């Protein structure tokens, strides 16, 4: 198990190298630099040149990248080139907002999605199944920025029920959480439905019924437990996606999270901050998926047996 975790974490190294390199190159290719906002009309060309040297902009991109990586090797994510605050600190002040919104969305999404999915699977082929499938299709294909704006117009301007944005108190969670949870619900409900459909045909459910297990427990204890793995994967993917990339929703609802922090950093050409944010979200992404992977072992004893034997399949004892 430990070996598996270490191996998975080691994979982060090439990922970080490639991702940061890509950011440095792309941001170098993009028009404008970080000093653009620092230049005033009073500055002489010499002043600007001095500023360029200060930010190493006179040297090739690979030099700046090398310098950044050297710092990273020593555990230093550097400082924001605009504010001068350390990247780690900037990230961590914004992270709680994103984490809370993600958790709320995932919880809402999961709590809604699993019953919906089970409901649809048990009535497969009926009008109810078609209705839920229709709902999940809409939920899945609706762009979140559009839905977010619609909700804002409806519930923040027309009926002033919730704040239009910002991060103050529980009511400010409602609209962004609903927006992101809808997609999550749609995806997870679809996955739950197909996963349950497969399990509902299984022979062991007939065995359970033949034992006199009440139908509600047949579904909850015997079927759902076998259907969990694909559902868990979808939830994990949703969680990691919220953590890493809710930039759109955070922008629409002016939510002070890491998604918006990254967007701001990129638009100000703050390479250090942008790169640091992306690296940290990469790490978050991998860790969440790793946790999901480890949860498999708790759900399915066959996977646990594989971990126990260090990846090799355990022999069946006869």
E runs forming strands in the chain = none
What one-character-per-residue DSSP string does 269-296 give?
Answer: T-HHHHHHHHHHHHHHHHHHHHHHHHHH
Count of residues that bind another protein according to CB under 8 A: 26
Say what angle helices 2-10 and 271-299 make with each other, to 10 degrees.
150
Nearer to another protein, 41 or 203 (CB): 203
Which range touches another protein (CB under 8 A), out of 61-69, 106-114, 175-183, 202-210?
Answer: 202-210
Answer for which of 3, 59, 67, 206 binds another protein (CB under 8 A) is: 206
Answer for which of 208, 239, 284, 290 binds another protein (CB under 8 A) is: 208
Answer for which of 94, 222, 260, 269 binds another protein (CB under 8 A) is: 222
Which range touches another protein (CB under 8 A), out of 73-81, 146-154, 164-172, 197-205?
Answer: 197-205
What count of Cα atoms within 13 Å lies in the side-chain half-sphere of residue 193?
26
Interatomic CA distance for residues 24 and 279, integer angstroms: 12
CB of 93 to another protein, least distance (A): 42
What one-character-per-residue DSSP string does 233-270 give?
Answer: HHHHHHHHHHHHHTHHHHHHTT--SHHHHHHHHHHTT-
Q: If DSSP codes are grouped into helix, strand and coil, which group holds residue 207?
A: helix
Q: Map the footprint of another protein across residues 271-310, applying CB under 8 A.
A: 299-302, 305
Handedness of CA 261, 265, 268, 270 (dihedral sign): positive
CA distances from 51 to 30, 60, 80, 147 (A): 19, 16, 16, 43
For residue 38, state whether it binds another protein (rule: CB under 8 A).
no
Nearer to another protein, 67 or 221 (CB): 221
CA distances from 36 to 27, 186, 226, 238, 256 (A): 14, 43, 57, 37, 24
Say what angle helices 171-200 and 87-122 make with each other, to 10 degrees.
50
By rule CB under 8 A, what string of x and - marks binding of each residue 223-262 to another protein?
--xx------------------------------------
Which range touches another protein (CB under 8 A), out of 106-114, 153-161, 168-176, 217-225?
Answer: 217-225
CB of 306 to another protein, least distance (A): 11
Nearer to another protein, 146 or 204 (CB): 204
For 227, the token pair is: 């259907």
Answer for which of 53, 207, 267, 309 binds another protein (CB under 8 A) is: 207
Residues that bind another protein (CB under 8 A): 202-204, 206-215, 221-222, 225-226, 299-302, 305, 314, 316-318
């Amino acid at each position: 198990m430990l070996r598996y975790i270490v191996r998975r974490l080691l994979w982060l190294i090439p990922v970080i190298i490639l991702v940061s390199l890509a950011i440095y190159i792309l941001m170098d290719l993009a028009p404008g630099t970080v000093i653009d906002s620092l230049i005033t009309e009073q500055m002489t060309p010499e002043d600007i040149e001095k500023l360029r040297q200060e930010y190493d902009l006179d040297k090739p991109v690979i030099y700046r990248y090398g310098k950044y990586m050297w710092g990273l090797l020593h555990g230093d994510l550097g400082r924001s080139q605009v504010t001068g605050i350390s990247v780690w600190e900037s990230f961590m002040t914004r992270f709680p907002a994103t984490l809370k919104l993600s958790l709320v969305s995932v919880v809402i999404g999961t709590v809604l999605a699993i019953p919906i999915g089970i409901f649809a699977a048990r009535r497969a082929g009926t009008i109810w199944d078609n209705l839920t499938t229709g709902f999940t299709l809409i939920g899945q294909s609706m762009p979140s920025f559009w839905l977010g704006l619609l909700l804002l117009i409806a519930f923040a301007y027309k009926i002033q029920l919730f704040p239009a944005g910002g991060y103050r108190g529980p009511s400010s969670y409602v609209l962004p959480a609903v927006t992101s949870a809808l997609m999550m619900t749609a995806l997870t409900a679809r996955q739950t439905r197909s996963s349950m459909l497969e399990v509902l045909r299984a022979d062991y459910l007939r065995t359970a019924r033949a034992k006199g297990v009440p139908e509600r427990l047949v579904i909850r204890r015997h079927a759902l437990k076998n259907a969990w793995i694909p559902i868990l994967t979808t939830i994990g993917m949703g969680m990691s996606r919220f953590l890493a990339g809710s930039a759109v929703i955070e922008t629409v609802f002016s939510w002070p999270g890491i998604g918006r922090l990254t967007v701001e950093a990129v638009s100000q050409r703050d390479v250090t901050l942008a790169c640091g944010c992306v690296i940290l979200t990469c790490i978050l992404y991998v860790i969440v998926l790793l946790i999901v992977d480890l949860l498999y072992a708790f759900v399915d004893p066959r996977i646990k047996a594989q971990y126990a034997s260090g990846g090799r399949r355990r022999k069946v004892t006869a």
